[in-house]
């Protein structure tokens, strides 16, 4: 799978000014319609069976880094539970401020029962819920609901019938609630013939989409990564 450059991104996106009614740290998202989420290359994980803590760079379409993300999940649970493990992802801005926290609880990977669906809570800033991403059962397709802080459905995400990134990109489309309008997408980028399990995702959305929904799409990309593309140690 693909990996980013070995050297960390040095150019940060310029810090925007304060915007009314915008959670602090999400002002960056008002200026963009694309994100690239790229896992930092980890030589230890490539050369061994040891699952290290994952780190990601989140950049704009010009390659400027917007956020840095770190998975702080328990080392024992990473090894024991593999792709089903719980995790807490902390996302920092360019001054080191915690701006988004993404939390996934331990759930069975089976989705035949409501009690086993995968779900994610997103807070921005940490401690302030802005919404949730819930998996729901579909006999053929990966399906998710994006919910607001009151757990009311606002949008859906629909994945491809076959979730395999062999030789092509895979698109998970952001849909209106009636599933008639495609509003954006999360794309798992094909990695080429690289021997590593580092991941790369592209996220596209309208410029005028609520920044909270943009942050929820970022959270959804991590959930999709861990559910379908995680390599068990």
Give me 132's structure tokens: 């949730």
Query: What predicted TM-score, i.e. pTM, was given to this entire model?
Result: 0.84
Which pLDDT belongs to residue 105? 80
Beta-carbon neighbour count of residue 55 at 10 Å? 15
Q: 93: which 2 tokens?
A: 């801005």
233 residues of the chain, pLDDT tens digit each? 333 444 444 588 888 888 888 999 999 999 999 999 998 766 555 555 555 578 899 999 999 999 999 987 766 666 666 556 788 999 999 888 999 999 998 665 554 444 457 899 999 999 999 999 999 888 888 999 999 999 999 999 999 987 765 657 889 999 999 999 999 999 998 765 554 455 789 999 999 999 999 999 999 999 998 888 775 55
- Sketch out the chain's domains with CATH numbers: 27-229 (2.40.160.200)
What region, left, alpha or beta, does residue 214 occupy, with left being phi > 0 and alpha being psi -120 to 50 degrees?
A: alpha
Choose among 133, 194, 185, 134: nearest CA to 165. Answer: 194
How far CA 133 is from CA of 65, 124, 146, 173, 224, in Å, comes to 24, 14, 5, 14, 10
Please choose, from the candidates 18, 15, 70, 32, the residue with its C-alpha nearest in 3D space to the C-alpha of residue 211. 32
* Residue 163 to residue 35: CA distance in whole angstroms: 21
Q: What is the pLDDT of residue 3?
A: 37
């Amino acid at each position: 799978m693909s990996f980013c450059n070995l050297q960390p991104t040095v150019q940060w996106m310029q810090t925007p000014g304060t915007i009314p009614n915008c959670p602090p740290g999400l002002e960056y998202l008002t200026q963009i319609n694309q994100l690239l989420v790229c896992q930092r290359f980890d030589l230890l994980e490539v050369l061994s069976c040891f699952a290290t803590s994952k780190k990601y760079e989140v950049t704009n379409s010009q390659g400027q880094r917007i956020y840095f993300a770190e998975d702080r999940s328990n080392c024992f649970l990473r090894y024991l539970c593999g792709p089903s493990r719980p995790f807490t992802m902390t996302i920092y801005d360019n001054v080191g401020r915690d701006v988004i926290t993404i939390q996934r609880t331990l759930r069975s990977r089976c989705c035949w029962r409501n009690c086993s669906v995968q779900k994610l809570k997103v807070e921005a800033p940490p401690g302030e819920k802005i919404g949730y991403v819930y998996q729901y059962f579909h006999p053929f397709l990966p399906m998710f609901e994006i919910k607001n802080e009151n757990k009311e459905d606002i949008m859906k995400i629909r994945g491809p019938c076959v979730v395999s990134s062999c030789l092509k990109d895979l698109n998970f489309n952001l849909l209106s609630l009636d599933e008639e309008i495609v509003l954006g997408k999360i794309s798992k980028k094909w990695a080429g013939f690289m021997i590593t399990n580092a991941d790369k995702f592209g996220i596209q959305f309208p410029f005028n989409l609520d920044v909270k929904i943009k942050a929820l799409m970022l959270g959804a990309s991590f959930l999709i990564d861990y559910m379908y593309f995680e390599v068990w140690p």
